[in-house]
Amino acid sequence: MQIPAEASVANIERALRKVVDEPRGTPLTLPLNLRHLGCGGEAALSQLLITWAQQQAPGILKTYAEKPEQIEELIRRLPGLTGALCAAIVIGVSEAEDLTSTVRVAALARLTTLLSEKPNRAYRGSSVEIVCADHLGRNAPYLLYYGEKGRTPRLRPRPSFALLASWLLRRTVPETYQHNIAPQMADALGSVMFELFKNTEEHGQVDAFGNIPSVSIRAVKTVHHAIAPEKLAQIVADYPPLEQYCQSLEAAEGAIQTHLFELSVLDSGPGFAVSQTGKSLAEIGQKEEEAAVRNCFTTFSAKGGSRFGQGLPHVMRVLRQERGFLRLRTGRLSIHADFSKDNTGEDSAALEVFRSNNEPFAPVAGSLLTVLLPLRKGR
């Protein structure tokens, strides 16, 4: 099985269906030169790799990266790093050479830097990644956890996540485009990061049956995109909700490019609906699954409180104000909210379920939440 080099949303979904259908032990080939990874593509492909690794354990990863410089390039992107950390065996496309040790050493070296107090040494351009590899015991990055010698690391409190979100915005977005970032955006993004990781701490360490998963990855990904609106719409054309959103974007006066800030939060836990209902995905019907996920976006749920507290409702309000976009991939659902035109009404009503050919998507490991925020050049 091979991941298409054109790693668009639709191609990733088609590959996910193959992952579910392939017999255990089927190798997965990850191209070296992946394209069309904008607007959440890197995180979506990483979710696919985690899903594959959990279902195919022990997973066999094939790669075209056989030379040292090619391996370094492979792990410098989130999907390559995720694949290297999840796979039990790594081989070249010729299948003659076992690259497991070489690739794993390189991946762990980069992960160690990402976990450190100076993770920027491992960043690439305007992109930021924070990665936890729980199954390897590398699960307490400095940016997310307090770590004291001899004591179990503790998740930083909510205010620290707001400070982290502010730093991510400054680190990712060019200075000339920070003027139009909503003042409350750092608090909103910090809240959702905190709630998602706090939920992972409480519910994401085991699967629906209480078993410890063979692969457990959590990650935060931010990136600044600068691209012409028509080109961006063309790249995401196979996913109509995102295509329609990108078509609504306009470049700043006198500019030929539009600017977007992307935040993706990824985990490999049981997913929104399973955590909300306490049932396995196989026990949940489509309507119940959708209702459970929608419930996570309201301030209060039927159980007396939203699983995400104020985090997701806050983000929805800010996205409405800033005309942003949200995509959630969890369980068998792909849910989105497009605030490009409408800035009135109930936030929960803005959530729409997307189905390709009116069919549910293949089940994925954990949850992936991607937020897009349009930016205009400051005056």
Q: Is 150 domain-assigned?
A: yes
**29 domain residue, yes or no:** no
Please give the residue range of the domain that contains residue 145.
Answer: 116-375
8 A C-beta contact, residue 34 and residue 78: no
Report yes or no on 242 lying in a domain. Answer: yes
Query: Is position 76 within any domain?
Result: no
Q: What is the pTM of this model?
A: 0.91
**Rounded distance, CA 37 to CA 235, Å?**
9
In total, how many domains does the chain have? 1
Gap between the Cα atoms of 145 and 210, Å rounded: 25
**pLDDT for residue 49:** 94
Mean pLDDT of the chain: 84
> What's the pLDDT score for residue 346?
62
Report the alpha-carbon distance of residue 223 to residue 252 in Å, rounded: 19
Q: Is 228 among the domain residues? A: yes
Angle value at C-alpha 324, between 322 and 328, nearest 5 degrees? 145
| Any domain includes 42 | no
Within a domain: 54:
no
Q: Which residues of the chain have a pLDDT value below 70?
A: 203-208, 252-254, 299-311, 342-348, 358, 376-379
In-domain check, residue 16? no
For the stretch 262-319, pLDDT in tens is 889 898 888 889 888 888 899 999 999 999 998 888 754 434 444 455 567 877 888 8
Burial (0-12, 13-18, 19+ Cβ within 10 Å), 116:
middle
Q: What is the pLDDT of residues 94-126, one digit of tens each?
A: 777 899 999 999 999 999 999 999 999 999 888
Residue ranges of alpha helices (H) inside the chain are: 9-21, 41-56, 68-75, 78-86, 100-115, 158-172, 185-203, 229-235, 240-248, 272-277, 286-295, 311-322
